[in-house]
Chains A and B, each alone.
Chain A
């Protein structure tokens, strides 16, 4: 068996059933091995960035490893944005690229790029395989490493000759495997467990002392598979809670103490609660600047308790009074037992938070005027009402992404696929493809911006080829809306290169890929538009013309404090009239 065949065998042994890839010179031996192979489904995307982002969407939706494959040189460089995207959001990916034959490395050979060097900053780990016998060990280690501790992409660059060399897994070197848990805590387990117990006791003491404690959760809940234990803790502690962009869905739809997303485009109630709390319990979040705003004024009255699988996040942005480096499930379960036995006494604070929520939540956005132009928030709210409980929504990046985050009621964090850390325009369509492969029976919708959609529009061909039933909704404001908004608010309304009023005819474009499409532009068409695409069995695109001047509210000036949120003071429509005058 050669190296390429061995890779496929390893996939099979590790239940890797779907991979996303694109062939080329140096990876050809692997593609040759795929001929006649029935154990793995290879999905051909139409751009390597599409492959990487589809693998990312696959992993986010399923919780399993995403795998993408490309050739050397341009194949590898095209993967980079997708891999960086996965790195920033801690998504488990296995990336395999072909490299020029070993003896040509360093000769500036055709399609040679220094993949290892170029990608050091966007991988959890990477390998250049220099010996066929090390391939089996590296593959196993990479698969484990990508998914353990804080997950992330692991990249294996394999020279073509190694793909063709005979590998004998019996005699091969598996030595690498013994290091595969090194991202786990490195102290001995007794010391580590004692530290966790101490942290939990300290947390309980502070929690019982606090008058205004607040729960803050992020994407780490899902990464740890701690969704259920989180919900139990949130419910039994009855703590008011806020979530980050990636924590959306953590508390489910029905937690009465949930205040919503915090941060730059968070709701006033959530930011207010952070501002006023005296204890902040941070679970699985890294206190990213989009969430905290200016760190000096973030949670100014609070002691912080930080619980995370990655201890390098502790004290990075804010000093914590208590840190616990542990599996979130263990800590949440221990805390739940304690608050069940002796409930917290925080009624006044709960009441206060609920009052803030009635006036400072995201609810005030409906516009039911039949003939009015469609606004992003109104559309998303309708979508949320009509879509089923487990529908998966993948977004692109911009205003539409924030409207989804603000107005769609997610039941579970794995339903919300969004590019949080990197903010990658063009994420949504390939991520939806990956999600649909991961969850063939689940409704998957890509909510795209008109700008973002064009960044990976070639993947319409992938949807068509595999007849994926996913739905695409383009919220078309004929501009790079989020940039336009910032130019309006923070650059004296000087618009610079954000205009997209010469967008293609998206309906015709979809049809060119044999995907039926529909156009709507009035509020009274929203429901029928959504119902029509849902009723259709195959893929369908809904083109939604929305108001150009609409902004995402509230907002915080970049670098500013969350307490200085700006509200909509000038209705968008009025501004257009003023501009025209």
Chain B
């Protein structure tokens, strides 16, 4: 009845890697970007692209990510960072099979 959460594994056993775009806004601070990237890596995603705009007090960061775990799990982990204010999911992109 209750399901275990794992990566999306197809019946043939291959892991499906999805591409996502996340838009994050965070307070600028010395280790801000490292903090963000570390969480992305540890929670099972690869950064395929990244752009950062700094507007005074804030960073606006667009991350293109690849990974097989549910992206909502990464969103909630990023939101736990004290200096992250907002994490918005962009449209899901093409799927690639790893």
Binding site for B on A (CB under 8 A): 116-117, 120-121, 124-128, 130, 145, 179, 182-183, 186, 278, 280, 295-296, 298-304, 310-312, 314-321
Contacts and interface: CB of A to CB of B under 8 A. Distances in A.
Contact of B82 (A116, A179, A321): A179
A486 B72 CA distance: 37
A312 B38 contact: no
12 contacts: A116-B31, A120-B31, A125-B81, A127-B29, A295-B4, A295-B6, A299-B2, A312-B73, A315-B5, A315-B70, A317-B4, A319-B2
A312 B83 CA distance: 16
Chain A CB within 10 A, most for which of B1, B2, B42: B2
B2 A316 contact: no
B84 to A, nearest CB: 8
B30 A312 contact: no
A94 B83 CA distance: 18
Interface in B42-98: 42, 70, 72-73, 76-77, 79-83, 85
Nearest to B3: A319
Contacts of A317: 4-5
Nearest to A142: B82
Contact of B30 (A130, A315, A316): A130
Interface residues of B, number: 25
B49 to A, nearest CB: 22
Nearest to B42: A121
Contact of A302 (B1, B34, B38, B72): B1
Contacts of B28: none
Given A117-B31, A126-B31, A299-B2, 4 more contacts: A125-B81, A311-B76, A312-B79, A320-B2
Given A182-B82, A312-B77, A316-B73, A121 B5 contact: no
Given A116-B30, A300-B1, A316-B73, A124 B82 contact: yes
Contacts of A310: 80
A321 B1 CA distance: 10
A319 B82 CA distance: 26
A385 to B, nearest CB: 39
Contacts of A315: 5, 70, 72-73
Contacts of A186: 79
Contacts of B76: 311-312, 314
A321 B2 CA distance: 8
Contacts of A183: 80, 82
Given A179-B27, A182-B82, A304 B73 contact: no
B2 A300 contact: yes
Contacts of B83: 125, 179
A317 B70 CA distance: 11
Contacts of A130: 30
Nearest to A313: B76
Contacts, number: 71
A317 B27 CA distance: 30
Contacts of A316: 5, 73
A319 B70 CA distance: 12
A127 B29 CA distance: 8
Nearest to A314: B76
Contacts of A295: 4-6
A303 B31 contact: no
Contacts of A301: 1
A262 B98 CA distance: 37
B44 to A, nearest CB: 11
Given A117-B31, A179-B82, A303 B42 contact: no
Nearest to B81: A125
A128 B30 CA distance: 7
Nearest to A315: B5
Interface string B12-35: 000000000000000101110011
Nearest to B27: A179
Contacts of B42: 121
B4 A125 contact: no
Contacts of A127: 29
A126 B72 CA distance: 25
A303 B2 CA distance: 6
B4 A296 contact: yes
Contacts of B73: 312, 315-316
A304 B58 CA distance: 39
Contacts of B85: 182
A460 B26 CA distance: 45
B10 to A, nearest CB: 17
Contacts of B1: 278, 300-303
Nearest to A154: B82
Nearest to A301: B1
Contacts of A321: 2
B4 A318 contact: yes
A403 to B, nearest CB: 30
A179 B57 CA distance: 13
B5 A318 contact: yes
Nearest to B86: A186
Given A311-B76, A316-B73, A128 B27 contact: no
A120 B76 CA distance: 17
Nearest to A317: B5
A125 B27 CA distance: 13
Nearest to B57: A175
B77 A128 contact: no
A278 B72 CA distance: 27
B35 to A, nearest CB: 6
B52 to A, nearest CB: 18
A316 B3 CA distance: 11
Nearest to A295: B4
Contact of B2 (A128, A182, A304): A304
A136 to B, nearest CB: 17
